[in-house]
Amino acid sequence: MPKANVYITLKPSLLDAQGKVVQGALEKLGYTNVSAVRIGKYIQIELEGDGDLEQQVDDMCRKLLANPVIEDYRFEIER
């Protein structure tokens, strides 16, 4: 059964407030070599059938999974 692995991240030009909090916490734990942290989402979708799975997953991302105004996405299909 094919699976889609979808990775969604904030656009590089946007401040990642959650990432900044994690970076600060890591520094307080002694990890002073961390220069930046970006937080994103990982979504795994199990698919049935064949067809144009890449186009279907791209549509899913554009229509629901990612906010194209503030987020970038990429995906890979495991067959």
What global pTM score does this model have? 0.89
Distance CA 65, CA 75 (A): 12
23-41 mean pLDDT: 98
Domain residue extents for the chain: 3-78
Quick check: 38 and 16 in contact, CB under 8 A? yes
32-39 mean pLDDT: 98
In tens, the pLDDT along 51-68 reads 999 999 999 999 999 999
Distance CA 42, CA 33 (A): 25
In tens, the pLDDT along 1-26 reads 999 999 999 999 999 999 999 999 99
CATH topology of domain 3-78: Mth169; Chain: A , (3.30.1280)
Quick check: 70 and 14 in contact, CB under 8 A? yes
CA atoms within 13 Å, Cβ hemisphere of 19: 15
